[in-house]
Amino acid sequence: MAKETNKSETRQPTIESLTTENTRLQGELDAANIVIAGQAAALKKAETAAAASDAIVVTHEDKQYRVLGKQFRIKGELVKAEELEKNPEALKLLVDSKSGLLVLITKEEAAAE
């Protein structure tokens, strides 16, 4: 019987410590959920801003250019901005002629995006 009493005495601090630990962990979970909700809102805002910009960027000779037009004619051929990267001759012609359809993206602008 003495052993029986001893077991309940050792269990009691364990139950109390588990309850305390559970309460602490619940508080951490609540704090984490608040952070996650804030990050989800920020992500949604960033995705909306990115979708609104629809900027098309092409690369020529390790330099990036923002394409300002949606489509244009080069030597009588209709070229869409989305397809410009796949047409290196047209891209080279625009870069070499310093066309206003392309704007060089500086390192500062690239870091901001």
| In the chain, where the domains are located | 1-53, 54-112
Question: What is the full per-residue pLDDT of the chain (113 aa) written as tens digits?
Answer: 445 555 555 667 688 889 999 999 999 999 999 999 989 888 877 776 666 567 788 888 888 888 888 888 888 888 888 888 888 888 888 889 888 888 888 765 545 55
Instruction: Report phi then psi at 77, rounded to 5.
Output: -100, 130
Instruction: Report phi then psi at 57, rounded to 5.
Output: -120, 135
Are 87 and 71 a contacting pair, CB within 8 Å? no
